Amino acid sequence: MVCFVGRSNVGKSSLIKALFSLAPDVEVRVSKTPGHTKKMNFFKVGKYFTLVDMPGYGYRAPQDFADMVEAYLQERQNLKRTFLLVDSVVGFQKADHTAIEMLEEFGIPYVFVLTKIDKASKGLLVKNVLEIQDFAEKHTQGCFPQLFPVSSIEYSGIHLLRCFIAHVTGNLPMMNS
């Protein structure tokens, strides 16, 4: 099981839709309205694993967001990885730091995914990548060092992220040399 968390309108549903573009049997609905996902959505990927789309935090978050997400994250023994999505145009926000503190406190391994890279200028993208890498190195314990920059529109980085998810869920065994 893996889960996606991030601020409202960071592109969680769009990213999930892009990840499953090759799996037509997995239906993903995407809304134009920020903060549309009000409850946890579960996507069963064949017999392989389940992906959980959490409601967005921050702007337009559901009232019970913290209780719902904290309870879920604390109780999940089979959660292999949490993917924390950050918008590449706006970078880290205060709400992201709150989510990071929660993941660190519960000892949940997580990965940063930088979304909407097609919308950020090259300079801004580099600035935000370096800021996140610097933060992860200095202020986190449970963060995977690799950052995944992706675009759900242009599909940049989608294949690599798909492979990483397959690997952490045990569906892509790495060859021993």
Residues with Cβ < 8 Å from 110, sequence gap 6 or more?
Answer: 81, 82, 83, 84, 100, 103, 142, 143, 144
Query: Where along the chain do its domains lie?
Result: 2-168
Phi and psi of 57, rounded to 5°? -105, 170
Q: Give pLDDT, residue 46.
A: 72
Q: Give pLDDT, residue 78.
A: 81
Give the chain's residues under pLDDT 70: 24-38, 58-66, 172-177
Tens digits of per-residue pLDDT, 130-170? 999 999 999 999 999 899 999 999 999 999 999 999 889 88
d(CA 147, CA 161): 10
Question: What would the two tokens of residue 156 be?
Answer: 């940049």
> Largest alpha-carbon pair distance within the chain?
50
Bridge partners of 57, per DSSP, are 7
Q: Give pLDDT, residue 173.
A: 64
CATH top-level class of 2-168: alpha beta
Q: Give pLDDT, residue 72.
A: 76
Helix (H) or strand (E) holding 166: helix 158-168
d(CA 38, CA 56): 8
